[in-house]
């Protein structure tokens, strides 16, 4: 709040003061020292004042400034004064209860003696011109304008603060002010309803509030009440809510002295202590402002002007403070700069878009009523005068002033000129200081309208850099080109022009007319596009100053902003309503930039908001926090606002093909071809990219829009645009591509007659496909050109004629054309038509001529032409046709031919039937069954063998035919169960089948087969019991034990495993213990590899002792592979045995290859453990001696030769070698080749190459 002025106590003398704002006009405030009463009449023309020691009424004329004295005629002093709210009556009360009604219009005085018995202390007038009075006699009266008492009621205590208003009710009374309210004894609020005088309402409040100081009615029956302890309360007078406090607050700590309400401003004020608190009337909890009077200890009465612009605050000491609470809403914008009123005598210039530009202030001498802003100038004006100022980097400096011939309503500026509108005229003149010496004096100044325009009144105007544009009451909009100093263009409208709003360069102009309609005008084409959803209460419009949103504009009312987008789309210039955005209370838009509206409010502050269509911009940098649904809503807004780059960002985040497609179509609609190409490239739509690249360079707008409409599937619009373009044949091409043949033919007649035959052929083909053969024939005939250049085309037409002729039952013509044609596919098509017409012979002949032998044979079969069938059958591959031919031959009794045909058709059952029933050739039938695997054929053969009592063969073929139950029953019946068991094997039967077989053998005491089939059935326990009963033999093959091991492996049951191990370890009286290999197999089946390894070592040792070194080696090697494959450590014993056996086996290989040194060293390793080879001690030692001697290992040869000459081995040595060995012993040579040193693969220590363990790292 800004203090406007201050009247100190000395202006009124000591003590409190009385003041009163001038009604209606509000320009004056009357102040005085203490007096009894002071009031302005309803129009603010007269001020009446009374004092406590006089019966004279003082009347001051605000226009003539004269003071009049009116004698009341009463001998007692005056105590009350009030002007009528609607009439010229002045009511004056006296200390003795008398009333005077003075009519200022007629100067008539009506004294009413004894209206009350004691002093009249309060009163007021209603909107219905009723007078309510309160007196010290504790009564309240309601009288009419003539002084007649209408209502009277007694009160409990002295009344004060009488007011008229309307109580809330469910139904409106139509009476207006129906309630008189007053404060009774300072404690209760008395509500006296004139429609229900018998039931007055008296409201009491909490004692902590103190006594009632002041109250105000407002809104729809609400009352704001102030209390002495600093509280104020808001209540409703609706009977359902009466007595309830809607809001309560303690705004002041010590006391509250007054409350005031401004409905025009929407504010309420409470005065107390040393401050005034102002709250929002609609949201009382919102504290808007606090006025603190630092020089004052307390505050008295507060009151607003009717318009809420000024607030007066009086103090008990006699001071009066006037505050500005509402500035005139005065502001203007040029490009991105705004000039607006920040106080009554100050204008501020600011650029809210470029915040780096510092705001500039201009102090003026008089309060301006209008402001003008240009690129380099600022103008302020009042009445008929304008002061022009130049804008520089250092500030705003005065430049010149201008007086006009009438009161100016608005001024517009560009860089050189000013145009002022006054009394239906516009004065265009150059700005002082912008004139040049070369400028023609005639171009310095011009008044519009001039004589050339006739008698008209200019209603609105604007300036662009090049044009003065103004509208008139006759419906014309004129464009005056300042460069040529003449009119360049004018637009005629059907009614008067009210307002115009051009864009920056005047290429688009928004027009408001007298019919409350609005249009966007293009002065280049004279197009007038209606603005949709236009609000009749619209006050103005603005174009967006941002380059990317230059086609966006808004229209404004006092509560909402409607946004529109103007574009040259595929269907032509369009204006689309894109959103409605609610304005904040008491804000007026000044500038639109990038979808952001900049506004100023009555407090002289700037504010901004985003249009609803641009509201997503605040969330564009935090998309990762949003849901897909929220991004979808943002995407829709961006597309609607034509902010396609923002929509691209959102589409990337959503990654939805539907959104990409929607965006691409929107850019096509807007004819933004480069962006559409980028979008379709992003989508991977190569076809659309290539198509758009081909049309991108078109300069013809209609042609470009036509292609865009075609891509958008708006084909009728595309045709209209193509026909209006420089390439109308594009419409014909489009209709042909769309197969719209009727339209294509009509266009071809006008645009390309030479194309008619080709279009006719294509149209005929479509008609033929849809079954319209008559029209198809006509168009095929029209399509024949008889031009040698178009032979293929004519052939296609002749083919169509042939097909359609056949369908129209003109077989002779159709067959003749097809026969003469070399086109085999035409013959095939015609043959198919004839076949459907049941003309078998002609159809078959055409099929045969075309080389479609399968079809020909099928038709010959229908005509029963077996001779032709026999000729063509070698060329036929269809089994179905061979089958039909076979059936025909079988019916004739030619069974051999039938069998061959059935074989070709792969009808094996038929082959078997003929072989068994007609040819008595079971061998052939059995052969066919075995080769084909035919189930039904096997059943037939089985039945044949049953008849011959060959049950073994019958069972075999019943199993092949999946008739297991029949096979089982037949085997049981004829004692062929073992045969059945062998045939059924391990595959092809169910568990129940296996159980049945097992039970049969169980009953027959055949333990082996019973166990086998219990195993197949999954009953492992019973299977093992039967396998245990099978006698064991040590011949090397025992199938029962093998199956028992398999059963235990499958079962994985510890109990069954232990039973089997116990059985394997148990010694039989006849055969002794079981072979250990079975225990090994068991452990392997159970995947108990460690136990299997130990068993394998035992078995290998036995085999080794028996001299079967290869068997032992393979067993141990396989075991090692199993252990390593299952990541199990190989036992050292197994590894050592394997190493020894492996050394022996590869030693022999090296010797055979001639590598005697390696062989000798390997044999030395074996000889060192010669006890492990008891079956071949002497041969191994002999070989070791021979190889060592041969390799130069003399010492080793001597050592092992010494062993051989021992008595226990000497006689076993081969006689051929005995003397040599004895010689080696008798004549020893103890030289020895040293073993080659190689590094350890683990630690690198040098060691003998044949050493298998590193002494350093122990690996």
Per-residue pLDDT of 1048-1094, as tens digits, reads: 566 666 666 666 566 655 655 544 455 555 556 556 666 666 666 66
Q: What is the pLDDT of residue 966?
A: 63
> pLDDT by residue (tens digit) across 996-1031?
666 666 666 766 666 666 666 667 667 667 666 766
Q: What is the pLDDT of residue 905?
A: 59
Lowest model confidence (mean pLDDT) among 226-230, 618-622, 851-855, 1144-1148: 851-855
Q: Shortest CA distance to 93 belongs to which of 67, 60, 68, 116?
A: 116
Q: What is the pLDDT of residue 890?
A: 65
Q: What is the pLDDT of residue 937?
A: 59
Lowest model confidence (mean pLDDT) among 29-38, 70-79, 301-310, 989-998: 989-998
Q: How many CB atoms lie within 10 A of CB 525?
A: 9
Task: Place 426 in a pLDDT band, splitting at 50, 70 and 90.
Answer: very high
The answer to whether the beta carbons of residues 61 and 48 sit under 8 Å apart is: no
Report the distance separating Cα 299 and Cα 745, nearest Å. 93
pLDDT top residue among 693 and 781 = 693
- Per DSSP, what are the bridge partners of residue 476? 492
The CA distances from residue 114 to 82, 111, 639, in Å, are 18, 10, 79
- Helices of type H across 331-490: none
Q: What is the pLDDT of residue 1035?
A: 44
| 67 Cβ contact list (under 8 Å, min separation 6) | 58, 59, 60, 61
Report the distance separating Cα 858 and Cα 839, nearest Å. 13
Q: What is the pLDDT of residue 1249?
A: 74
pLDDT top residue among 4 and 971 = 4
Report the distance separating Cα 230 and Cα 250, nearest Å. 5
> Has residue 551 got a pLDDT over 90?
yes
Backbone angles phi, psi at 1157, to 5 degrees: -65, -50
Highest mean pLDDT among 656-670, 767-781, 901-915 belongs to 656-670
Size (the chain), residues: 1259
Q: What is the pLDDT of residue 565?
A: 95
Q: What is the pLDDT of residue 1070?
A: 47
The packing angle between helices 701-711 and 715-723, to 10°, is 160
The packing angle between helices 791-807 and 824-836, to 10°, is 10
Report the distance separating Cα 362 and Cα 389, nearest Å. 9
Q: How many CB atoms lie within 10 A of CB 620?
A: 14
The answer to whether the beta carbons of residues 60 and 46 sit under 8 Å apart is: yes
Report the distance separating Cα 558 and Cα 919, nearest Å. 108
> Has residue 783 got a pLDDT over 50?
yes
Beta strands (DSSP E) in 157-205 are: 159-165, 179-184, 188-193, 201-204
1227 burial via Cβ count (<10 Å: 0-12, 13-18, 19+):
exposed
> pLDDT by residue (tens digit) across 700-744?
999 999 999 999 999 999 999 999 999 999 999 999 888 898 889
Task: Place 437 in a pLDDT band, splitting at 50, 70 and 90.
Answer: very low
Q: What is the pLDDT of residue 640?
A: 92
Q: What is the pLDDT of residue 802?
A: 83
Task: Place 393 in a pLDDT band, splitting at 50, 70 and 90.
Answer: confident
Q: Shortest CA distance to 424 belongs to which of 471, 372, 377?
A: 471
Q: Give me the chain's average pLDDT, please.
A: 83
> Has residue 408 got a pLDDT over 90?
yes
Torsion (CA) 114, 116, 119, 123 in degrees, nearest 10: -120
291 burial via Cβ count (<10 Å: 0-12, 13-18, 19+):
buried
Q: What sign for the dihedral angle of Cα 824, 825, 827, 832?
A: positive
Q: End-to-end CA distance of the chain, in Å?
A: 98
> Has residue 884 got a pLDDT over 50?
yes
**Average pLDDT score over residue span 587-600:** 94
Q: What is the pLDDT of residue 1037?
A: 46
| Helix (H/G/I), strand (E/B), else coil: 294 | coil
Q: Shortest CA distance to 1074 belongs to which of 1025, 1024, 1038?
A: 1038
Torsion (CA) 1113, 1119, 1123, 1125 in degrees, nearest 10: 90
Lowest model confidence (mean pLDDT) among 752-756, 802-806, 1125-1129: 1125-1129
> pLDDT by residue (tens digit) across 213-264?
999 999 888 999 999 999 999 999 888 888 789 999 999 999 999 999 998 8
Task: Place 1144 in a pLDDT band, splitting at 50, 70 and 90.
Answer: confident
**Average pLDDT score over residue span 35-61:** 91
Task: Place 126 in a pLDDT band, splitting at 50, 70 and 90.
Answer: very high
Q: What is the pLDDT of residue 1072?
A: 47
**Average pLDDT score over residue span 593-612:** 90
**Which helix (H) or strand (E) segment is 659 a member of?**
helix 657-669
């Amino acid at each position: 709040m800004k203090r406007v002025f201050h009247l100190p106590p000395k202006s009124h003398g000591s003590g409190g003061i009385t003041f009163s704002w001038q009604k209606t006009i509000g320009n004056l405030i009357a102040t005085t020292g203490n007096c009894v009463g002071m009031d302005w009449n309803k129009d603010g023309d007269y001020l009446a004042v009374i004092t406590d020691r006089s019966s004279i009424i003082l009347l001051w004329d605000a226009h003539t400034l004269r003071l009049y004295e009116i004698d009341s005629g009463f001998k007692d002093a005056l105590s009350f004064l009030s002007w009528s709210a609607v009439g010229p009556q002045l009511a004056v009360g006296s200390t003795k209860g008398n009333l005077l009604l003075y009519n200022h219009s007629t100067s008539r005085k009506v004294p009413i003696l004894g209206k009350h018995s004691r002093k009249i202390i309060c009163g007021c007038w209603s909107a219905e011109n009723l007078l309510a009075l309160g007196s010290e006699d504790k009564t309240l009266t309601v009288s009419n304008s003539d002084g007649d008492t209408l209502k009277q009621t007694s009160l409990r205590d002295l009344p004060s603060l009488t007011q008229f208003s309307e109580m809330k009710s469910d139904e409106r009374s139509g009476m207006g002010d129906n309630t008189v309210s007053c404060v009774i004894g300072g404690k209760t609020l008395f509500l006296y309803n004139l429609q229900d005088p018998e039931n007055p309402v008296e409201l009491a409040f909490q004692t902590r509030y103190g006594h009632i100081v002041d109250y105000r009615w407002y809104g729809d029956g609400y009352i704001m009440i102030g209390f002495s302890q600093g509280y104020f309360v808001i209540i409703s007078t609706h009977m359902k809510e009466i007595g309830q406090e809607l809001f309560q607050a303690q705004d002041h700590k010590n006391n509250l002295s007054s409350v005031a309400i401004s409905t025009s401003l929407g504010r309420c004020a409470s005065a107390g202590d040393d401050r005034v608190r102002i709250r929002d009337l609609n949201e009382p909890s919102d504290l808007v402002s606090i006025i603190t009077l630092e020089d004052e200890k307390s505050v008295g009465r507060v009151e607003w002007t009717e318009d809420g612009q000024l607030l007066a605050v009086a103090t008990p000491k006699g001071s009066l403070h006037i505050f500005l609470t509402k500035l005139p809403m005065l502001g203007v914008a040029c490009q991105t700069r705004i000039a607006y009123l920040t106080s009554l005598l100050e204008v501020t210039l600011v650029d809210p878009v470029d915040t780096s530009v510092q705001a500039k202030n201009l102090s003026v001498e008089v309060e301006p009523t209008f402001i003008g802003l240009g690129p380099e100038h600022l103008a302020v004006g009042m009445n008929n005068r304008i002061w022009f100022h130049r804008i520089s980097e250092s500030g705003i400096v005065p430049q010149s002033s201008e007086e006009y011939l009438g009161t100016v309503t608005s001024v517009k500026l560009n860089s050189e000129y000013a145009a002022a509108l006054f009394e239906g005229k516009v004065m265009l003149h150059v700005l002082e200081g912008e004139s040049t010496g070369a400028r023609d004096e005639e171009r310095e100044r011009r008044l519009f309208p001039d004589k050339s325009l006739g008698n008209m009144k200019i209603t609105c105007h604007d300036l662009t850099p090049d044009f003065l544009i103004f509208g008139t009451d006759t419906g014309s909009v004129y464009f005056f080109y300042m460069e040529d100093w003449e009119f360049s263009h004018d637009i005629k409208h059907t009614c008067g022009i009210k307002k115009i709003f051009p864009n920056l360069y005047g290429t688009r102009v928004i027009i408001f007319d007298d019919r409350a309609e609005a249009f966007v005008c293009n002065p280049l084409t004279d197009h007038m596009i209606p603005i949709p959803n236009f609000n009749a209460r619209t006050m103005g419009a603005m174009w967006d100053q941002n380059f990317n949103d230059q086609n966006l504009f808004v229209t404004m009312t006092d509560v909402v902003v409607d946004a529109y987008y103007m574009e040259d789309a595929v269907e032509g210039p369009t204006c689309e309503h894109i959103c409605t955005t609610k304005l904040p209370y008491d804000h007026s838009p000044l500038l639109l930039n990038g979808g952001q509206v900049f506004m100023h409010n009555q407090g002289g502050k700037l504010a901004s908001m985003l249009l609803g269509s641009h509201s997503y911009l605040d969330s564009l940098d935090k998309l990762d926090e949003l849901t897909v649904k929220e991004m979808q809503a943002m995407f829709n807004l961006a597309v609607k606002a034509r902010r396609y780059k923002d929509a691209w960002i959102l589409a990337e985040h959503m990654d939805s093909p539907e959104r990409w497609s929607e965006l691409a179509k929107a850019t096509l609609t807007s004819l933004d071809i480069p962006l559409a190409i980028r979008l379709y490239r992003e989508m991977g739509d190569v076809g659309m990219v290539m198509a758009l690249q081909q049309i991108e360079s078109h300069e013809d707008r209609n042609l470009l829009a036509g292609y865009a409409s075609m891509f958008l599937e708006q084909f009728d619009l595309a045709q209209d645009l193509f026909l209006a373009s420089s390439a109308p044949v594009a419409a014909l091409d489009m209709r042909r591509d769309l197969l719209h043949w009727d339209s294509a033919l009509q266009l071809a007649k006008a645009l390309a007659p030479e194309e008619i035959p080709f279009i006719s052929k294509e149209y005929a083909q479509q008609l033929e496909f849809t079954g319209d053969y008559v029209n198809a024939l006509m168009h095929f005939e029209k399509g024949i050109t008889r031009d040698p250049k178009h032979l293929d085309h004519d052939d296609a037409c002749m083919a169509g004629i042939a097909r359609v002729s056949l369908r129209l039952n003109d077989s002779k013509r159709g067959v003749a054309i097809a026969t003469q044609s070399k086109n085999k596919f035409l013959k095939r098509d015609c043959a198919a038509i004839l076949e459907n017409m049941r003309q078998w012979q002609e159809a078959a002949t055409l099929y045969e001529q075309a080389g479609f032998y399968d079809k020909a044979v099928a038709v010959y079969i229908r005509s029963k032409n077996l001779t032709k069938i026999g000729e063509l059958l070698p060329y036929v591959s269809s089994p179905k046709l061979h089958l039909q031919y076979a059936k025909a031959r079988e019916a004739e009794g030619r069974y051999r031919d039938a069998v061959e045909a059935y074989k070709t058709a792969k009808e094996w059952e038929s082959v078997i039937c003929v072989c068994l029933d007609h040819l008595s050739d079971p061998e052939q039938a059995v052969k066919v069954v075995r080769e084909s695997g035919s189930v039904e054929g096997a059943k037939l053969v089985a039945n044949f063998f049953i008849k011959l009592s060959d049950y073994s063969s019958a069972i075999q073929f019943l199993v092949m035919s999946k008739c297991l139950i029949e096979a089982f029953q037949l085997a049981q019946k004829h004692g062929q169960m073992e045969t059945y068991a062998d045939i059924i094997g391990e595959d092809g039967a169910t568990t129940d089948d296996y159980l049945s077989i097992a039970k049969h053998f169980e009953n027959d005491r055949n333990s082996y087969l019973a166990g086998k089939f219990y195993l197949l059935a999954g009953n492992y326990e019973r299977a093992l019991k039967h396998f245990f009963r099978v006698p064991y033999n040590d011949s090397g093959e025992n199938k029962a034990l093998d199956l028992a091991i398999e059963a235990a492996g499958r079962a994985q049951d510890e109990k069954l495993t232990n039973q089997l191990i116990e059985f394997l370890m148990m010694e039989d009286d006849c055969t002794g213990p079981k072979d250990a290999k079975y225990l090994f197999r068991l452990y392997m089946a159970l995947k108990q590899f460690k136990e299997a390894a130990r068993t394998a070592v035992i078995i290998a040792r036995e085999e080794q002792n028996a001299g079967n070194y290869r068997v032992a080696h393979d067993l141990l090697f396989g075991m090692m592979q199993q252990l390593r494959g299952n990541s199990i450590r190989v036992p050292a014993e197994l590894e050592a045995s394997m190493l020894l056996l492996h050394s022996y086996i590869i030693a022999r290989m090296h010797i055979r290859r001639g590598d005697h040194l390696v062989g000798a060293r390997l044999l030395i390793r074996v000889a060192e453990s010669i006890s492990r080879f008891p079956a071949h001690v002497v041969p191994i030692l002999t070989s070791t001696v021979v190889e060592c001697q041969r390799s130069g290992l003399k010492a080793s040869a001597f050592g092992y030769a010494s062993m051989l000459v021992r008595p226990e081995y000497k006689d076993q040595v081969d006689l051929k070698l005995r003397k040599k060995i004895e010689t080696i012993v008798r004549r020893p040579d103890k030289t020895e080749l040293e073993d080659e040193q190689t590094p350890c693969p683990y630690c690198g220590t040098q060691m003998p190459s044949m050493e298998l363990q590193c002494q350093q790292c122990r690996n």
